[in-house]
Amino acid sequence: MRFILIVLFLIIYFIFSIPMWLIGFLIGLTDKDAKHRFAQPFVNFGFRGILFIGGVKVIVKGKENQPDRPALYTFNHRGFFDIIIGYVTSPPLTLFVAKKELEHIPLISRWMRYMHCLFLDREDPRKGLETINQGVELLKSGHNVYVAPEGTRNDTDDMLEFHEATFRLAIKSKSPIVPVAINNTAAVFEDHLPWVKSHTVCIEYLEPIYLDDMSRADQKHIGATVRDIIQKKVYENQSLVK
């Protein structure tokens, strides 16, 4: 029943989003960042609607750890609702790195482009490097980047290895890294597709890592370091969502 209600909500939301998309287009003619600021609250409204209809309770911890400067937010990827709770709890001017397949979904991809989301081609190293370079420039220009260094959704609490190349975004832009631990999102949707079930989920923003405080040798293995930090916190927070 929740799934059906969410589908009906999204149909109405997408119909209403058409004139809003046109307004965003006009805003973006003179200021692309203003278009991003316009789009993010509108998308957040839609995501909050999904959470409400789905009966999803969100525990948010550590928002005080979000730096007052652009940062690379790295999270463990368990399900679709990772993106939803990430967006509704992230600071302004945040974009996500998404798989390239989402670039071809009507309406959704338009709003993602408004928010400068990057579409990663995991099968083409050259295009992947281009995407990283785009992310570096966006970080330098004041945007936050949200990315899953595992590279794909993982169906266990034991995280996959983090791709070290992901962290070039922080190294090249000299941005802090904020580890983000997410618990129990798969229980809402992926564990019983296509139904949505009411569950408690948790997202915790951990203390930022500043690369200036690390040696170059340690920076080469920053992915493994961040993975261990997130993995430990995921285990600690399991009791909050049971």
pTM of the model: 0.93
> Side chain identity at 170, as an amino acid letter?
A
Please say if the pLDDT value at position 103 is more than 80.
Answer: no
**At the topology level of CATH, where does 57-241 sit?**
Glycerol-3-phosphate (1)-acyltransferase (3.40.1130)
- Tokens linked to 190: 């992926």
* Closest CA relative to residue 93, chosen from 27, 138, 61, 47: 138
> Side chain identity at 183, as an amino acid letter?
N
Q: In the chain, where are the structural domains located?
A: 57-241
3 state DSSP class of 29: coil
Higher per-residue confidence, 200 vs 216:
200
Please say if the pLDDT value at position 100 is more than 90.
Answer: no
pLDDT in tens, 189-211: 999 888 999 999 999 999 999 99
Please say if the pLDDT value at position 46 is more than 90.
Answer: yes
pLDDT score recorded for residue 128: 81
